[in-house]
Amino acid sequence: MLLFSTQTSKKLARKISQCAPYLKEGTHDFKYFANGEMHVKITREVKGEKIIILASTNQPNDNIFELFLLLDAAKNNGAEFIHLIMPFFGY
């Protein structure tokens, strides 16, 4: 099982993966283009894997869009199951 997180939940994801040794921390690249658009690319193989995405939306506009891009990347890379944990949904 792989654990991915958005930029706002990195610390919490690191603590969870330290406490649960069966969860491996997934890696992805996140960047902004010059025009303000976001890009998310999963850099670890997820095909056939069960993954958990940890995401909070304390600044909703960018964080929700980052979450959608991460979900889309996981689905397009062949993840078997995608579970979303959202400790804080702010809007």
**C-alpha span between 48 and 9 (Å, rounded):** 24
Which two three-digit tokens encode residue 86? Answer: 């959202």
Nearest to 41 by CA among 26, 51, 52, 54: 26
Instruction: Give the tens place of pLDDT for each residue, 21-65.
Output: 899 888 899 898 999 888 999 998 999 999 999 998 887 777 888
pTM: 0.86
Does residue 90 surpass a pLDDT of 80? Answer: no
DSSP assignment of the chain: -EEEE-GGGHHHHHHHHHH-TTPEEP-EEEEE-TTS-EEEEE-S--TT-EEEEE---SSHHHHHHHHHHHHHHHHHTT-SEEEEE-S----
Which tops the pLDDT comparison, 10 or 90?
Answer: 10
